[in-house]
Structure 1
Amino acid sequence: YIGIAIAGLTAPVSGYYIIGKASVIYGFLATCIVLPIVFKRLKAYPLQRSIKPNTSTICAPFSLVAAAYVLTFPNANSYIIIIFLVLSQFFYFYIVLQLPQLLKAPFSPVFSAFTFPLVISATALKNSMSVLAFPEIWEWLLLFEMLLATLIVFRVLLGYMHFFLKQA
């Protein structure tokens, strides 16, 4: 449901701002509708331990919308950016707090679920900071998010290398 909002990230390159704007609006509305349903389902039927890393995808939708909004709307409303950013950061830290437990499991291809949400969250913060005049502390937060995203992507890469070399 949220993948279509990627069009908002590519709007500046393609020049299709109308499609980008529509995809961002759709992505936000769909996220507001679907995310409560996802949480209700997860509460009723928790994920099995082997696929628990998929939980990290919860932080991607608002981050994608935040990252795309800044690029797609040239005169972006600061209040809307702040709302998107607060939502994305809330879900980001919801996942970050679970990472130590989630990373204790032996590597499996499902660890790939960590990569996009953490990278797009850092991207959303970076894009938003270019528009908003945030205090310096936010630069430290961005550095933390970029470092964590890089470490997780590298961890997944190493995990895959080990996984496939073991298979060969």
Structure 2
Amino acid sequence: MNKFNKIPIPICGVFLALVSLGNLLGETNITVKYLLGTTGVILVLSLFIQTLNDMEDFKNNLDSPILLGTFGTLSMGLMAFSTYFLNYNNNMALIIWLIGLIIHILIIIIFTKRYIIHGKLEDLTTSSFIVYIGIGIAAMTGFKFDQFNFINYGTFIFGLLSFIILFFIVSYRYIKLPIPDSTKPLLCIYTAPASIILVEYFRLNIPKSVNLIIFAYIIACILYLFAFINLIRCLKLPFYPSYAGFTFPFVISATATTLVNQYFINLGTKIYMLDILDNIEITIAICIVLYVLVRYLLYIFNIKIEIKKNKKIIKCLLLININ
């Protein structure tokens, strides 16, 4: 019998991706939504049980700026998962949302003290986007809780300002300092912040500016292209827990494209290129999330298979992008 590997903290990113993908696909297939959500919950519960059995190891892992930042995907995932209860138990949805929000605020406080006030430039990777811009998922998922609208607006402004500041600092760090292979998949997180902010903007109950939406979406598309190129390159690497960085960024980018497409349709302007792009991005998101999920399961259950530089998945993604 194979000995199991420990479940890595970055699996929280897969949890977030599965729940968010469920929300994206749920409008057309409710069964798929709950299947994806349930799978994500099983993953994070497994990590929770492991943590209870070895709390010291968990605490030691959170001494890493990358792992502490990545842990923010747990709180983001909880806020995203809260929406699964909106049609059944609004109080339960609110409780889960608040728990996720509180955990994320605590992560921001700890991360800021350790790595912003007392840290070094090398401590700031794209995982810091998760910490400071990731809280924006509160506005994406909490727009149904009218009594907390002030939090939704606050997280939107906080995330926007954080992105403007961190984008240049983190980019400077990557230009100046070497990037180990084990963390290269995290570069795909670059595509997430602009899309998170755009989705937040759509969720907030404020007048929308067409010019602002176009500007934000152009930035999101440029960062998506960068992330996609990085994805193709990184799939040639052996499996690392940082593969989780492939997942949610592409899901939230697809979500942003879907909302932009719907926005223009509602204005009476159907843009066929957006329709095509929407389908492509959703397909890529589904493929990469399921692929990373399988790779994680193979890793956890210590199943050895020969994957020759992931050539098949690379060809698949390239064909999707071309077609």
Calculate the TM-score normalised by the size of structure 2: 0.50
- Residue in 1 that maps onto 2:137: 6
Q: Is the 8 A contact 1:21 1:69 kept in 2?
A: no
* Unaligned segments of structure 1, at least 5 residues: none
Matched, 1:130 2:248: no
Where does residue 80 of structure 1 map in the other structure? 212
Residue identity in the other structure for 1:2: I
- Contact 2:133–2:193 (CA under 8 A) maintained in structure 1: yes
Give distance in 2, aligned partners of 1:78 and 1:21.
19
CA distances 1:119-163 after superposition (whole Å, capped 9, x unpaired): 111111111222123511111101111011111101101101111
Post-superposition shift, 1:22? Answer: 2.2
Cα shift readout 1:78-124 (whole Å, capped 9, x = no counterpart): 12211221111111111112221111111221100111111111111
Instruction: Tell me whether 61-70 or 18-27 shows the greater mean CA deviation.
Output: 18-27
Shift of 1:75: 2.5
Kindly indicate whether structure 1 or structure 2 has the higher relative contact order, using CA contacts under 8 Å at least 6 residues apart.
Answer: 1
* Distance in 1, Cα, partners of 2:155 & 2:229: 30
Q: Give the unaligned 5+ runs of structure 2.
A: 1-131, 304-323
Aligned to 1:103: 235
| Rounded Cα–Cα distance in structure 1 between residues aligned with 2:263 and 2:150 | 20
- CA shift for structure 1 position 18: 2.9
Which residue among 167, 186, 190 is the counterpart of 1:58? 190
What SS class does the counterpart of residue 36 from structure 1 fall into?
A: helix
Deviation of 1:17 after TM superposition, in Å, equals 2.9
Aligned counterpart, 1:139:
275
Give 3-state SS (helix, strand or coil) of 1:106's partner: coil
Q: Per-residue deviation at 1:46?
A: 2.8
SS of residue paired to 2:302: helix
Change in CA separation of 1:152 and 1:77 when aligned onto 2, cut-off 3 Å: same
Contact 1:57–1:117 (CA<8 Å) still a contact in 2?
Answer: yes
1:163 to 290, 295, 299: 299
Letter in 2 for 1:55: L
Cα pair 1:11 1:72 within 8 Å, conserved: no
1:74 is displaced (CA, Å) by 4.2
Choose which of 286, 300, 314 in structure 2 pairs with 1:150: 286
Give the match for residue 45 of structure 1.
177
Aligned residues of 2:187 and 2:230 also touching (Cα < 8 A): no
Offset, 1:4: 1.7
Amino acid at match of 1:111: Y
Identity %: 30
Is residue 185–residue 230 contact of structure 2 (8 Å, CA) maintained in 1?
Answer: no
Instruction: With the length of structure 1 as denominator, give the TM-score of the two structures.
Output: 0.93
Aligned mates of 2:289, 2:151 — CA distance in 1? 30
* Counterpart residue number, 1:118: 250
Residues 11 and 79 (structure 1 numbering): CA distance in 2 closer, same or farther, change over 3 Å?
farther
Q: What residue identity is the alignment partner of 2:217?
A: L
Instruction: Decide which structure has the larger Cα Rg and report it.
Output: 2
Q: Write 1 or 2 for the structure with the bigger share of helix.
A: 1
1:5, 1:35 → 2: CA distance? 16
Name the amino acid aligned to 2:133.
I
Q: Residues 12 and 72 of structure 1 are in contact (CA less than 8 Å); yes or no, is this contact kept in structure 2? A: yes
